[in-house]
Amino acid sequence: MVSGEGVMMHLEDGRSLIDGISSWWAVIHGYNHPALNAALLTQANKFAHVMLGGMTHNPALDLAATLVRITPEGLNHVFFSDSGSIGVEVALKMSIQYWKNIGYNGKSKIISLKNGYHGDTFKAMEVSDDSDFTRAFSDVLRRGYILDIPEGGFDADAAVVKQATDKLEALLQREHQNIAAFIVEPIVQCAGGFNIYSPLYLKTARELCTKYNVLFVFDEVATGFGRTGKLFAAEHAGVTPDIMILGKALTAGYMGHAATLATSAVFDSFLGDNYEKALMHGPTFMANPLACAVALQSISIIEEEQYLQKIDKIQSIIREQFDSFTSPAIVAKRSIGAIGAIEMKDAACLSGFKEFSQQHGVWLRPIGNVLYLMPPYIISEKELLTILQVMKDWIQQIK
Residues that bind ligand PLP (CB under 6 A): 83-85, 88, 117-119, 185, 190-191, 219, 221-222, 247-248
Is there a binding annotation on residue 253?
no
Is there a binding annotation on residue 19?
no
Q: What is the crossing angle of helices 381-396 and 307-323, to 10°? A: 30
**Angle (nearest 5°) at CA 28 between 23 and 30:** 75
The Cα 51–Cα 62 span in angstroms is 17
Is there a binding annotation on residue 375?
no
CB of residue 190 to ligand PLP, shortest distance in Å: 5
Judge contact between 252 and 272, C-beta under 8 A: no
Q: List the beta bridge partners of residue 343.
A: 332, 370
CB of residue 119 to ligand PLP, shortest distance in Å: 4
The Cα 241–Cα 75 span in angstroms is 8
Which lies closer to ligand PLP via its Cβ, residue 219 or residue 383?
219
Is there a binding annotation on residue 365?
yes
Which lies closer to ligand PLP via its Cβ, residue 29 or residue 248?
248
* Region of 265 on the Ramachandran plot (φ > 0 left; ψ -120 to 50 alpha; else beta): alpha
CB of residue 284 to ligand PLP, shortest distance in Å: 16
CB of residue 65 to ligand PLP, shortest distance in Å: 23
Judge contact between 38 and 254, C-beta under 8 A: no
Which lies closer to ligand PLP via its Cβ, residue 184 or residue 390?
184
Which lies closer to ligand PLP via its Cβ, residue 29 or residue 257?
257
Which lies closer to ligand PLP via its Cβ, residue 108 or residue 112?
112
CB of residue 17 to ligand PLP, shortest distance in Å: 22
CB of residue 326 to ligand PLP, shortest distance in Å: 30
Which residue's CB comes closest to ligand PLP? Answer: 84
CB of residue 220 to ligand PLP, shortest distance in Å: 7
Please give the biggest Cα pair distance in the chain.
68
Is there a binding annotation on residue 248?
yes
Which lies closer to ligand PLP via its Cβ, residue 190 or residue 317?
190
Is there a binding annotation on residue 84?
yes
Which lies closer to ligand PLP via its Cβ, residue 119 or residue 150?
119
Helix ranges restricted to H, 58-146: 58-70, 84-101, 122-126
Buried b (16+ CB within 10 A) or exposed e, 216-238: bbbbbbbbbbbbbbbbbbbbbbe
Is there a binding annotation on residue 328?
no
The Cα 390–Cα 399 span in angstroms is 17
Judge contact between 19 and 373, C-beta under 8 A: no
Helix ranges restricted to H, the chain: 22-25, 34-44, 58-70, 84-101, 122-126, 158-175, 199-211, 234-237, 264-268, 289-304, 307-323, 353-359, 381-396
* Binding site feature residues for pyridoxal 5'-phosphate: 84-85, 219, 283-284
**Annotated binding-site ranges:** 24, 84-85, 117, 219, 248, 282-284, 365
Where is the binding site for substrate, in residues?
Answer: 24, 117, 248, 282, 365
